[in-house]
Amino acid sequence: MISLASAKIPFNAYLNVFDCLWSERIGRGKYVDRFEKLAAEYFGVKHCIAVSSGTLADVILLSTLKELHPGKDEVILPAFTFIAQANAVLWAGLKPVFVDVNDDMQISSEAPYHLKEKTLCVFPVHLIGKSAISHMFKFTKTVVPIVEDCCEAMGGVENGIKFGTIGLAGAFSMYPSHTITTGEGGLIITNDDEFHKIARSIHNHGKWGGADFNFKYLGTNAKMTNLQAAIGCELIKTIDDVNVKRRHNVSLYNSLLDKNFYASAPHCYPVFYDSQKDRDDALKVLADYGIECRKLMGCVPDSEPYVVRFGIPRPDQYVNARRLANTGLFVPIHQNLTKKQIEYICDVIRITPFK
Amino acid sequence: MISLASAKIPFNAYLNVFDCLWSERIGRGKYVDRFEKLAAEYFGVKHCIAVSSGTLADVILLSTLKELHPGKDEVILPAFTFIAQANAVLWAGLKPVFVDVNDDMQISSEAPYHLKEKTLCVFPVHLIGKSAISHMFKFTKTVVPIVEDCCEAMGGVENGIKFGTIGLAGAFSMYPSHTITTGEGGLIITNDDEFHKIARSIHNHGKWGGADFNFKYLGTNAKMTNLQAAIGCELIKTIDDVNVKRRHNVSLYNSLLDKNFYASAPHCYPVFYDSQKDRDDALKVLADYGIECRKLMGCVPDSEPYVVRFGIPRPDQYVNARRLANTGLFVPIHQNLTKKQIEYICDVIRITPFK
């Protein structure tokens, strides 16, 4: 099986993990502090909070904004995304305002028309590692904050601007298939002191002011373990190298399949079909040939948790999101793939009627 | 510093962790499955789900019940507890109905009077390892489900009944100061097949039916990592031994301080004072003498996140909860304390005007 994820663990990470076990500091500990410092340096930001997952990073971004702007409750986000991003809006007790996407998977130009008095923020996503930055500029003349979901795009850059640093705050994931991994794990970055203080409180039960059992905000437990951070401290040094290798793999796919996909921090390689049937058949073919693959995200408003809450979308809504969701799949792109493996994957893709 | 937490990591756990790193399976993996199986066997239940924290275990218990009983939204719980339990009610989008506690920290006999048409469940807590089972029998003649917060009480037993197995489901935590630890971590146990299926879905983004990107419930990411489970698989074998040692430590405290505290799965040793000032002074004295200690939980309805949402409680509400919160503290009880250390802690406690 050619897997979607691969992460070689550096030797020093073994030593760090051993140190955690030996010192009995597997929960909170020095590697968490060190990882946060290294991440803040890497992104060139003032504050970084290591958390338990990208999903909870998203939840905390939105919960923090909610504390900063009570009364505002609408979040503008693309209809085509991984469901965790949209779920974060609901967990934070807010209302998702879905916007269709363009062919390039980015939030469409209708987005600014959804800005209202009650809009809390715009919540773009750098999906499968592609930059959403140029699309974010649609909003930069407004007074609405932007927070970035960079869960699939760690280390991505456009015109010298790192993903996660243009908005008020950014959320990252270290899930196994992502640029670097801590098993599960996430990061929140921001340059805003107040945002940072509130987010840090929320990630630790809402604790405030140092005193034990003094709580200011509705908090949760999103703390990263020392064990995870012990690995993160070493893998964070590899982000740029991983992305170089993944972009190289994308180029190889492009040349073999005569395509021109580009992502600054590639999460996967997307392949499209004319129909849902062709795509579903292709998923089976790829799996039969031992290649791990997935449907390319989903049209979130069409999924059951959203239909139950907000009703079935009209057929003329989210047309592009639905088409991408129904006709796309993705194959592995990770940094440890060999040229031979990619050639093999492309040979199998060529059996299928890809577009 | 005499710490509140200590967990010696068994040699086999080092090997398991090494195996995770070497096989590059630090996220989902075989140790998670094995840990769930071992835990189900230990508790004698059909289903166990390993999760990222006790806090999220609580959130998932309630979210699962909400899916099972739409329209019901009130959760009856004690006012005196760790705030994470109450926060779980809010995160699940439900309404907490706080009930005062007795002197023994258990939900008072007024609790059944709060049962209403809209009551979703009763949510007792085995606080600091003390059994809530006898108090749960106040509700067993009703048709309202009971779910148990056992976060501070893993391995506790009353009359042969294990905590977490009398209600519909139980939530446990593996935070460092708890009976066993995986750094952060939690467990959900249940004998109910449908409850289990929904809870398992919610802990993994609401995924359903095996297909990727098919979602049925509002899910989150509460997955435990293979790394954490690799440690849990070994420490779970130590639960009963840890509790024997901790109960032994409680006995030593009792004899030295002429008290009769009892907990089946002790989380800490509580000490009470006549006034908040005496307690706060004692916290400083203990800290000055190098003893890690904490205020004994809080009266949750008095805390800021709840006052903001539900207003300031009347002075005649939660009287016991407030008194316990203002006059109690706790000192270490963990299994690796020496007799000398406990004698030292008691010497310091005796400097303070404890009750």
The 10s digit of each residue's pLDDT in B73-102 is 999 999 999 999 999 999 999 999 999 999
Question: Whole-angstrom Cα distance, residue A353 to residue A273?
Answer: 7
Specify the pLDDT at position A107. Answer: 85
Contact of B352 with chain A, judged by CB distance below 8 Å, is answered with no
* A35 contacts in chain B (CB < 8 Å): none
Which has the higher per-residue pLDDT, A7 or A326? A326
pLDDT at A256 over 90: yes
Band of residue B135 on the pLDDT scale cut at 50, 70, 90: confident
* A221 contacts in chain B (CB < 8 Å): 52-56, 84, 184
Q: Residue A225: closest CA among chain B residues belongs to which residue?
A: B183
Q: Which element (helix H / strand E) includes A31? A: helix A30-43
Over chain B, what is the mean pLDDT?
95
* B54 contacts in chain A (CB < 8 Å): 221
* Closest chain B C-alpha to A108 CA, distance in angstroms: 22
Contact of B171 with chain A, judged by CB distance below 8 Å, is answered with no
* Closest chain B C-alpha to A298 CA, distance in angstroms: 6
Contact flag A213-B18 (C-beta cutoff 8 Å): no
* Closest chain A C-alpha to B38 CA, distance in angstroms: 21
pLDDT at A320 over 70: yes
Band of residue B140 on the pLDDT scale cut at 50, 70, 90: low
Question: Whole-angstrom Cα distance, residue A75 to residue A58?
Answer: 12
Residue (of A145, A135, A347) closest to A252 by Cα position? A347
pTM: 0.97
For residue A55, give the nearest of B9, B176, B221 by CB distance.
Answer: B221
Question: Whole-angstrom Cα distance, residue B95 to residue B181?
Answer: 31
Contact of B182 with chain A, judged by CB distance below 8 Å, is answered with yes
A208-251 pLDDT tens trace: 987 777 999 999 999 999 999 999 999 999 999 999 999 999 99
Residue (of B292, B298, B291, B287) closest to B326 by Cα position? B298
Specify the pLDDT at position B110. Answer: 83
pLDDT at B71 over 80: yes
A77 bridge partner residues: A98
Contact of B167 with chain A, judged by CB distance below 8 Å, is answered with no
Specify the pLDDT at position B107. Answer: 85
Question: What architecture does CATH give domain A239-351?
Answer: Alpha-Beta Complex (3.90)
Interfacial A residues in 7-66 facing B (CB < 8 Å): 7-9, 13-14, 17-18, 21-22, 24, 26-28, 52-56, 59
Contact of A117 with chain B, judged by CB distance below 8 Å, is answered with no
Q: Residue B25: closest CA among chain A residues belongs to which residue?
A: A183
Contact flag B304-A216 (C-beta cutoff 8 Å): yes
Interfacial A residues in 208-237 facing B (CB < 8 Å): 208, 212-213, 215-221, 223-228, 231
* Closest chain B C-alpha to A260 CA, distance in angstroms: 26
* Closest chain B C-alpha to A86 CA, distance in angstroms: 10
Contact of B289 with chain A, judged by CB distance below 8 Å, is answered with no
Specify the pLDDT at position A141. Answer: 64
Contact of B303 with chain A, judged by CB distance below 8 Å, is answered with yes
* Residue % of chain B over a pLDDT of 70: 99
- CA atoms B210, B214, B218, B224: torsion sign: positive
Specify the pLDDT at position A142. Answer: 72
The length of chain A is 355
Q: Residue B207: closest CA among chain A residues belongs to which residue?
A: A83
* B8 contacts in chain A (CB < 8 Å): 24
Contact of B239 with chain A, judged by CB distance below 8 Å, is answered with no
Helix (H), strand (E), coil (C) string for chain B:
CECCCCCCCCHHHHHHHHHHHHCCCCCCCHHHHHHHHHHHHHHCCCEEEEECCHHHHHHHHHHHHHHHCCCCCEEEEECEECHHHHHHHHHCCCEEEEECECCCCCECCCHHHHCCCCEEEECCECHHHCCCHHHHCCCCCCCCCEEEECCCCCCCEECCEECCCCCCEEEEECCCCCCCCCCCCEEEEECCHHHHHHHHHHCECCECCCCCCCECCCCCECECCHHHHHHHHHHHHHHHHHHHHHHHHHHHHHHHHCCCCCCCCCCCEEEEECCHHHHHHHHHHHHHCCECCEECCEEHHHCHHHHHHHCCCCCCCCHHHHHHHHHEEEECCCCCCCHHHHHHHHHHHHHCCEC
pLDDT at B309 over 80: yes
Q: Provide the CATH topology of domain B11-237.
A: Aspartate Aminotransferase; domain 2 (3.40.640)
On the CB side of A10, how many CA atoms lie within 13 Å of its CA? 16
Interfacial B residues in 122-161 facing A (CB < 8 Å): none
Helix (H), strand (E), coil (C) string for B330-351:
EECCCCCCCHHHHHHHHHHHHH
Q: How many CB pairs under 8 A join A and B?
A: 177
Q: Residue A218: closest CA among chain B residues belongs to which residue?
A: B305
Contact flag B184-A22 (C-beta cutoff 8 Å): no
* B184 contacts in chain A (CB < 8 Å): 27, 52, 221, 223-225
For chain B, where do the domains classified as CATH 3.40.640.10 start and end?
Answer: 11-237
Task: Pick the residue of A3, A223, A227 with the most B CBs within 10 A to test the interface with B by mutation.
Answer: A227
Q: Residue B56: closest CA among chain A residues belongs to which residue?
A: A221
pLDDT at A95 over 70: yes
Question: Whole-angstrom Cα distance, residue B132 to residue B355?
Answer: 24
Over chain A, what is the mean pLDDT?
95
Contact of A120 with chain B, judged by CB distance below 8 Å, is answered with no
Q: Is A195 helix (H, G, I), strand (E, B) or coil?
A: helix
Q: Residue A91: closest CA among chain B residues belongs to which residue?
A: B91
Contact flag B298-A28 (C-beta cutoff 8 Å): no
For chain B, where do the domains classified as CATH 3.90.1150.10 start and end?
Answer: 239-351
Q: Residue A84: closest CA among chain B residues belongs to which residue?
A: B205
Q: Residue A292: closest CA among chain B residues belongs to which residue?
A: B212
Give the ipTM of the model, two decimals please. 0.97
Task: Pick the residue of A3, A11, A184 with the most B CBs within 10 A to test the interface with B by mutation.
Answer: A184
Which of A103-117, A164-178, A185-199, B179-193 is predicted with the least confidence, judged by mean pLDDT? A103-117
* Residue % of chain A over a pLDDT of 90: 92
B188 bridge partner residues: B49, B171
Contact of B184 with chain A, judged by CB distance below 8 Å, is answered with yes
Work out the burial of residue A137: count CB atoms within 10 Å of its CB; fewer than 13 is exposed, 13-18 middle, 19 or more buried: exposed
For residue A213, give the nearest of B7, B218, B297 by CB distance.
Answer: B297
Contact of A95 with chain B, judged by CB distance below 8 Å, is answered with no
